[in-house]
A and B are shown apart, each in its own frame.
Chain A
């Protein structure tokens, strides 16, 4: 039992809103210069970027605290590139089911015997392969990484087992409202736009090995991929090893697709998706709307404003819904930003009988952004908090490899880290007002409520046009 809702969820939100280099220029008169709290100096450790002849990007950052190496390869293709929802994810995961002529079992035994691990996953914008191993095992593990990335077996029998398990896990996930509510929300907000692509049991059933091979062939190209290596190694030797393993990788002549994305439309009215879970003992809900892209130049500053609303324990939302009223164990808000779109969401949960009270209080608290605005003392506190909690996000090799691959995927550089404190320090009360008016969705809000519909349907209707689905229905929207 812990005092707070898992911090992991918070960290994910914050990680997702990192962005961009680019100097943000906030003109400041001498009079408005704020005294800022010193939270210590923090700069990104140096690293080297190399582009091989075939277009593959290598990013190498030595870190010698422990005798380990973390490698993250990122391919610029994610669920937004799915023609059938789930293809990017399964293409990545199935690459681990045997590669380079080794069976799944051989591969897994080889990796586990070293105490190492290799994982594959796809997000909205990219596909990720992460290997974690002892420095002494670099030759073996980099070879394994090259095999799974370049030469996956895509064996039909092994894939079928993964597919069946994935379908079952999609049902299993729905046992926990918290683990699926964001998928309902993204679907409601993005609709047919690729950011609304959510794998479900019927889409996954339609993905066969040939689709994986096609997705791999089209998207896993050297000029569409970066490999970030962080840990205990010699840069020259590592460069040589990677060039040996990946230098001959030739892309398909067609290259990755660059079809323009369908536009994202802002919601035209308040809408409520009511997800019925008949044995629910609480109501879990999200409220929000469109957010900002990763490339938005105000992202760092926007995070500071959100910290005040719902990004820390003393935030307005947590203070009102948890501390003052005891309605919930935790309430928060956050922007989640992707390459071409983003969303903003307020999230919390409460017992069935206080559903209306909690939704009302969340909305009332949210509107303080416009009605009351942010005062200088609260802003100063949030700035200190955001700066003080920043360095530990980049403490491990895994954190740093993730950062480097995000730099490649989203096109920002070390100035994001190195200018972070300066940007936060520069934020004024006047800036916060502009950010609130420009970016936080004030009306036409979107709601997802997961709970016992028999009890909460009348409440749901208060907030907008209601669509009802059963949590056991396939997918994440009304068909």
Chain B
């Protein structure tokens, strides 16, 4: 079982010589229940374990001012009791069966991850079905969980300059679209959303027709099908959630923000450029461009900034997104280097790609780094579940996995230069600086 899947994913993985392998989509078993829930199964018996990844198409982009952070808060509330398994019983039952879990929320999705010995599969179905169909939103648990989330927010800001800076950069890069606020939400909203907000949110977004489920590990398709019919099929579908209507208007000039943080030992500089949604054909060229900028010690930013002692470190980040989002470039200044010098050095490297392009060797390196990363992801049942779910969500179908090799392979040095010219422009940029002291007017 395992071998076939790997062959398939290798084919999906890009890069010329590796991409030819003949495989087909039949290695992933997929079916959709009558209530609209789509389920994919990836059998793999290398360890006696399995997982269940539930991807819900709800994230901070589905919020509005007043309930910012509610998607993430919901991720917490899903563990706080339902009809059959009351407060604390979800975790206690899962752990006593040898399982563990976690969950995460992004701008786009909320994902629940269960990891367990495969013979606990039915218990996991029972637990998940109970909270999807019959969540009990207990006001006492809501009150306590608000404090937990407030602590999560605080600990992020205390320990991560990236978080502190990114929250503010997003706030000005987006004037209209809900990507404007952070996933954790505004402090005041965390304390303010109502019981009715929560009830509505669950009914709308935690409907089976709004979910994609992936199960990977030591299981069979027949087993999963039988349990899905028993536990998930009876949950009724709901009217589909409203579409996100707001389209961010084009940015007409550079925007800037400053965050003061006394404990910052050197300035941090973040550049954020608007880029298209993940399903746009330019995704692949942009993805390789970020790799050329920052993957490995021979990357552009590492050579030009870290090696030249302008920065202690520099990186890029381009989250997968349903709507047009941002491509981030972040640098942390070396001692004695001003925010301004670092900013100019970062911008110079970005601009250089637009003006001079990249070499074939750099592009090949980026493709090889992608391929390595892809294989390493496919080495675990969790990596497999995550990748299949991700393609299903952000590229429209897990079958798109089969188009990816060609899409990466076809990216040329000219494409990289073109997307740099198109998107990485001054007028399309927000600059954020975090430092202990703001520079004076003089």
Contact = CB atoms under 8 A, between A and B. Distances in A.
A164 interface: yes
Contacts of A142: none
Contacts of A169: 312
Contact of B160 (A65, A176, A328, A398): A176
Interface stretch (A50-58, A220-228, A318-326): A318-326
A371 interface: no
Contact of B152 (A329, A384, A385): A329
A389 B119 contact: no
B369 interface: yes
Contact of A329 (B106, B155, B264, B380): B155
A396 B49 contact: no
Interface stretch (A1-9, A238-246, A259-267, A408-416): A1-9
Contacts of A380: 96
Interface in A1-19: 1-4, 7
B372 A116 contact: yes
Interface in A115-173: 115-117, 132-134, 161, 164-165, 167-169, 171-172
Q: Is the interface of A mostly helix, strand, loop or mixed?
A: mixed
A172 B158 contact: no
Contacts of A279: 261-263
Given A1-B152, A38-B119, A175 B265 contact: yes
Contact of A40 (B75, B117, B297): B117
Interface string B340-368: 00000000000000000000010011011
Interface stretch (B143-151, B192-200, B270-278): B143-151
Contacts of B335: 164, 167-168, 171
Contacts of A322: 148
B379 A471 contact: no
Contacts of B96: 380-381, 384-385
Interface stretch (A20-28, A104-112, A207-215, A286-294): A104-112
A282 B372 CA distance: 40
Nearest to A118: B297
Contacts of A42: 47-48
Contacts, number: 240
B105 A115 contact: no
Nearest to B47: A391
Interface residues of B, number: 90
Contact of A1 (B98, B118, B183, B312): B183
B348 to A, nearest CB: 20
A89 B147 CA distance: 40
Contact of B148 (A328, A349, A381): A328
A219 B332 CA distance: 34
A284 B158 CA distance: 10
Interface of B: 2-3, 6, 10, 46-49, 72, 75-76, 79, 88, 91-92, 95-106, 115-120, 143-152, 154-161, 183-184, 218, 261-266, 295-299, 303, 306-307, 309, 312, 332, 334-335, 361, 364-365, 367-373, 375-376, 378-382
5 contacts: A4-B102, A39-B117, A134-B372, A174-B263, A395-B46
5 interchain residue pairs of minimum CB distance: A388-B98, A40-B48, A115-B368, A326-B147, A112-B296
Given A1-B152, A113-B361, 11 more contacts: A1-B156, A1-B183, A3-B75, A7-B102, A39-B98, A108-B297, A111-B298, A115-B369, A177-B158, A388-B97, A391-B47
